[in-house]
Amino acid sequence: MKKTRLFFSLLILLLVSTSLSSQVFIDGEDASVRPSDGYITDNGRTLRWQNQGDGQNLPKIESSKKRAGSHSVAFQIDGASSGSTSQRSEYCLNACWSTSEPAVKSGDTWYTGFSFQLDNDIWDSPTSWFSIQQTQQKKSTGQVNNNPFVSLEIKSGNVLDIRAGSGKNGDSGLKFTHKELITLTKGIWYDAIIGWKYSPNTTDGWLSLWIKTKDQTNYVRYSIENIKLGYSEAPQQVSQNKIGMYRGRVTGNNKMYFDEIRFATNLEDAKIIDFPDTDKDGVFDINDTCPNTPSGAVVDVKGCEVFSLPSNNFKVLHISESCHSSNNGSISIEAIQNLNYTATLSGGTTASKNFTNNVSFENLEAGSYKVCITVEGENDYEVCFNATITEPEDITVTSKGDQGK
């Protein structure tokens, strides 16, 4: 019943999500990471894993940490061993050097929504630059570097920071504007939306971050306004929009969880969708026809309480035959709650007995048996147990005479 309820809730979540104009890229449900190259398949898409330097762990589908549903994606980078190459572990959401890199023109707005959490134990405060989201414009001919024009970064002391870039291209004539926002706390989920208005030639662009914790209702907006955003002489296309970890080469270890990663062209569709479950029975309020279920009750897919008994309500004991072919095995059942039960035995023999507290089936021969118990008036309840009655092996006695006496 629990599996049915969970599937139904997730199904409703997916049905409502797909009615929106947003695109959900990663939510961890039914996701898999390819061991050979780290590519992730989720929501019908296969996304490229970009790794660089050393210390990267293969991204992992994580069930112990989740913002919504039952899974998230964990990224981990361990301390660098040597060299000067930066360290990267990211998933590329849009474009990623494909032949269909999306066009972006002045006045366009993009929104990337996601939830993230810093691991409680494996997290050293950054001592170098540390990006968790970045958007890059396509390179110009001959361009070497490609600095992102949008990035969300974590500074020393776990301070969250947004950075807006402008200039000729991602390699020259660069100007960056930063704004420090909040200090992050390890071990809690943050819901974030990074949005921007592309404006490489005039100062009517903006870069904003909407953020809240999982338990908060309203997002708080932080913004850099009235700026040039994007590169005026680079192709008006987005080459990469990425989520993950990209950091300078340092010795610290960092692990993060990401969930509910989505992309939209408007703010509302980038927000995390929360479905309330007021009585906390695992069935969303929109599907719950019994909204005040007692705490701990077992419910059906409509959220209504169904009859159940504790898993330890029955104690089943079986005794095997004392001698070969003696047919004196037995199966006894004892119940904690006194109700009107029926126990049905099948296997080497078939029998049915009514009881309220205990019952026994005796004179059983060796073999495999099944006992199923039902409760009067509860047509949907049945619990079954398997038992095996054995018999001792025959004893063979050999006598050898003492010759010569």
E strands present in 205-299: 205-213, 220-227, 230-231, 238-247, 254-264
Domain at 128, CATH number: 2.60.120.200
Whether 400 shows a pLDDT value over 80: the answer reads no
**Domain range for 360:** 314-389
State the average pLDDT for the chain: 86
Q: Is the pTM of this model over 0.75?
A: no
pLDDT at 18: 34
Output the six-digit token pair for 130: 């540390």
pLDDT at 171: 81
- Indicate whether 405 belongs to any domain: no
- Indicate whether 55 belongs to any domain: yes
CB burial class (10 A; 0-12, 13-18, 19+) of residue 183? Answer: exposed
Domain at 373, CATH number: 2.60.40.10
pLDDT at 3: 36
CB 245 within 8 A of CB 88: yes
User: Distance between CA 315 and CA 55 in Å, rounded?
Assistant: 52
How many separate domains does the chain show?
Answer: 2
Whether 405 shows a pLDDT value over 60: the answer reads no
Which of 362, 328, 326, 359 lies closest to 342 in space, CA to CA? 359
- Indicate whether 51 belongs to any domain: yes
Q: Tell me the percentage of the chain whose pLDDT exceeds 70.
A: 88
Do 205 and 264 fall into the same domain? yes
Do 223 and 333 fall into the same domain? no
Do 265 and 321 fall into the same domain? no
pLDDT at 396: 65
272, 305, 337 — which closes off a domain? 272
136-179 residue pLDDT tens: 998 888 888 889 999 999 999 999 999 999 999 888 788 999 99
Output the six-digit token pair for 31: 């996701």
- Indicate whether 333 belongs to any domain: yes
Do 318 and 250 fall into the same domain? no
Confidence class for position 17, pLDDT limits 50, 70, 90: very low
Which of 332, 405, 345 lies closest to 374 in space, CA to CA? 345
User: Distance between CA 187 and CA 189 in Å, rounded?
Assistant: 7
Confidence class for position 395, pLDDT limits 50, 70, 90: low
Do 260 and 352 fall into the same domain? no
- Indicate whether 54 belongs to any domain: yes
